[in-house]
Amino acid sequence: MGEMEFIQMIGKESIVFVAIFVVYFLFVKPKDLHIERKDEQISELMNLNRQIVDENSETLADISGTMERISSELTSLNENQVKLKDGQDDLWKEIIQIKNKER
């Protein structure tokens, strides 16, 4: 192998080597950086979602407590309405008895 062939072989190998570096820096490395940014964004979104879920669960717990109080008040109101109806029935019975006695 002559010196010229050796130099040509080294030149070809160096061109391949340079081409590999160019492809890496132009295509592979930017994709890696893009993927890393996406991973960071996904992590931030997951943390934000956890925070929202925590806040919403607290709000839902508050709403649940309020609904229980409303239910209790409605039950009490219903009981009072039944008592009022019974009292009105008794009152009408007494009014009818008084009117019958007056005749």
Kindly state the tokens that stand for 28. 């592979």
At 64 the pLDDT is: 92
- The half-sphere exposure of 64 on its side-chain side, counting CA atoms within 13 A, is 6
Q: What's the pTM value of the predicted model, to 2 decimals?
A: 0.46
DSSP 68-80: HHHHHHHHHHHHH
What pLDDT, in 10s, does the model give residues 58-92? 888 889 999 999 999 999 999 999 999 988 988 89
Under the banding of pLDDT at 50, 70 and 90, the label for residue 1 is low
**What is the distance between the alpha carbons of residues 76 and 85, in angstroms, rounded to a whole number?**
14
Under the banding of pLDDT at 50, 70 and 90, the label for residue 47 is very high
C-alpha radius of gyration, the chain, whole number: 43
Kindly state the tokens that stand for 35. 């993927």
At 69 the pLDDT is: 95
**What is the distance between the alpha carbons of residues 46 and 40, in angstroms, rounded to a whole number?**
10
Q: Does pLDDT of 38 surpass 80?
A: yes
